[in-house]
Amino acid sequence: MEMTASGAFYTGQYRNLFQEIGYTNEQIDAKLRQAWSDLFDGDEDTRIYYPLGDDMGYLLDTGNLDVRTEGMSYGMMMAVQMNKKDEFDRLWKFSKTFMQHTEGRYKHYFAWHCKPDGTRLSEGPAPDGEEFYALALLFASNRWGDGPSPFDYSNQARIILRACLHQGEQGEGDPMWDPATKLIKFIPESPFSDPSYHLPHFYELFALYADEQDRPFWKEAAAASRAYLHTACHPETGLSPEYANYDGTPADVQRHGDYRHFFSDAYRTAANIALDWEWFRRDPWQVEQSNRLQHFFREIEVDDYRRYTIDGTPFEEAALHPIGLLATNAAASLAADGPDAEHFARLFWDTPLRTGQRRYYDNCLYFFSLLALSGNYRIY
């Protein structure tokens, strides 16, 4: 299929949107290097990475003062993209030492958050961490080669992916993907999903490197997630809820708040859709969706970003992570072909990293968007 063959997976060519709109390669490379330096080695008001001892390190959720599998696996993906093996190995050693379960119902899964000294705060896992760990490890294996355990990256990735699909088959526990729908769950025990967890472009690659018996499942999961996002994203605004049922309708889960609306988790959906388009170009809907989302935000100032119902009604409540939302709105420009794509790319370029207490989540999304829009979020 001609359209399929145009994605970066097939061509090896990654679109550099910043270059297309007039920035030089020198400016772009300098901006990316500076952002890495600020986040991993910068001053106390900006950095989110901290070494621990001689061979470990962590990304700190500065708003909650804890360490999360989200951030640890994100940091590993950032590091492998930037060819930073030392930071990658330190993050992985911390994750392996303190966060990964070795027995019980969560064996091979990761406790979703802990203190900076490694003390676990919760035992349960969050599947977005597992999927990022697995692909970052596969990329590390392909980029640097496998070493002795725990740096036998490809083997470690397959252990995680095996657990994600087969946990509970021989005893206690639950898989992270719903076997019937082939959709990722919010947590292993939940009967609903989180649209921002859906990474079909990752599953296409898992279908190449996972255990041979599981490869057909991952191909089907990629197709299922692409179809799911059609139903989870509003047909007019492009907004998605934080949690959604397997049919895509907002999930009415009230334990810790109301997650039927467009808020922090949901920002990632736009960036995920755009990167899937850049890598694989399987679904032309992704272009229309990215245009819709950018059209919705085009006339809203970043300082006025809020919580929204998915039909676009604003709440009084301001966005907790406005820079993160801007970053993902800009990342959508990789797939968008409408009049707003250049606007968001320029606005993002002109916006610095966030500083202060809430910077962690914003700046993770910021760095991924910087990688993507500069043609540096690559398949290894």
E strand or H helix that includes residue 163: helix 153-166
Domain tally, the chain: 2
What does each C-alpha distance from 351 to 51, 100, 333 come to in angstroms? 27, 36, 16
**7 and 122: one domain?**
no
From the number of C-beta atoms within 10 Å of its C-beta (0-12, 13-18, 19+), residue 216 rates as exposed
Beta strands in the chain (DSSP E): 49-52, 56-59, 67-68, 113-114, 306-308, 314-318
- 54 and 35, same structural domain? no
pLDDT at position 28 is: 98
Looking at the structure, do residues 151 and 170 belong to the same domain, yes or no? yes
**In this structure, is residue 181 part of a structural domain?**
no
Query: Residue 177: beta bridge partners?
Result: 184
Q: What are the C-alpha distances in Å from 227 to residues 181, 234, 248?
A: 11, 13, 10
Q: 24 and 71 in one domain? A: no
Instruction: Report the interhelical angle of 69-82 vs 85-94 (nearest 10°).
Output: 160
The answer on pLDDT for 234 being more than 90 is yes
Is there a domain that residue 372 lies in? yes
When pLDDT is cut at 50, 70 and 90, the band that residue 171 belongs to is confident
Task: Kindly state whether residues 168 and 231 are assigned to the same domain.
Answer: no
What is the pLDDT averaged over residues 256-277?
95
State the average pLDDT over residues 113-132.
98
Position 138: which residue type? L
Structural domain boundaries, residue 343: 1-42+222-379
On whether the pTM is more than 0.75, the answer is: yes
**Residue 256 has what pLDDT?**
73
1 pLDDT exceeds 50? no
- Burial label, 84 (beta-carbon count in 10 A; 0-12, 13-18, 19+): middle
Q: What is the CATH number of the domain that holds 247?
A: 1.50.10.10
Residue range 49-101, pLDDT digits in tens: 999 999 999 999 999 999 999 999 999 999 999 999 999 999 999 999 999 99
DSSP letter for 62, please.
Answer: T
Q: Among 140, 157, 175, which residue terminates a domain?
A: 175
Please give the angle made by the CA atoms of 117, 121 and 123, to the nearest 5 degrees.
120
Are residues 373 and 230 located together in one domain of the fold? yes
Same domain, 137 and 248: no
pLDDT (tens digit, 9 = 90+) per residue, 4-47?
479 999 999 999 999 999 999 999 999 999 999 999 999 999 99
Residue 293 lies in a domain: yes
Length of the chain as a residue count: 380
> Is residue 216's pLDDT more than 80?
yes
| Residue 82 placed within a domain | yes
* C-alpha 43: how far from chain center: 25
Q: Does one domain contain both 273 and 145?
A: no
Q: Which of 61, 194, 265, 278 is catalytic?
A: 265
Q: Indicate if 174 belongs to the active site.
A: no
Residue 172 known to be catalytic: no
Question: pLDDT-derived band of residue 2, with 50, 70 and 90 as boundaries?
Answer: very low
What is the Cα–Cα distance from 81 to 144, expressed in whole angstroms? 12
Contact residues for 25 (Cβ-Cβ < 8 A; gap 6+): 16, 19
Residue 181 in this model has a pLDDT that exceeds 50: yes
Q: Are residues 56 and 171 in the same domain?
A: yes
| pLDDT tier at 111, thresholds 50, 70, 90 | very high
22 and 59 fall within a common domain:
no
In 3D space, the residue among 276, 315, 278, 308 whose CA is nearest the CA of residue 293 turns out to be: 308
**Which backbone phi and psi does 181 adopt, to 5 degrees?**
-95, -15
185 in a domain, yes or no? Answer: no
365 and 232 share one domain: yes
| Same domain flag for 295 and 366 | yes
Distance CA 362, CA 369 (A): 11
Whether residue 200 lies inside any domain: the answer is: no
Candidates 38, 61, 66, 70; catalytic one: 70
Residue 134's identity, in one-letter code, is A
Decide which of 150, 175, 200 is a domain's last residue. Answer: 175
Q: Give the residue, 328 or 256, on which the prediction is more confident.
A: 328
Please check whether residue 341 lies inside any domain of the structure. yes
Q: What is the pLDDT of residue 5?
A: 73
CA dihedral defined by 270, 275, 281, 287, rounded to 10 degrees? 30
Average pLDDT score, the chain: 97
In a domain, residue 348? The reply is yes
Distance of alpha carbon 284 from alpha carbon 126, whole angstroms: 30
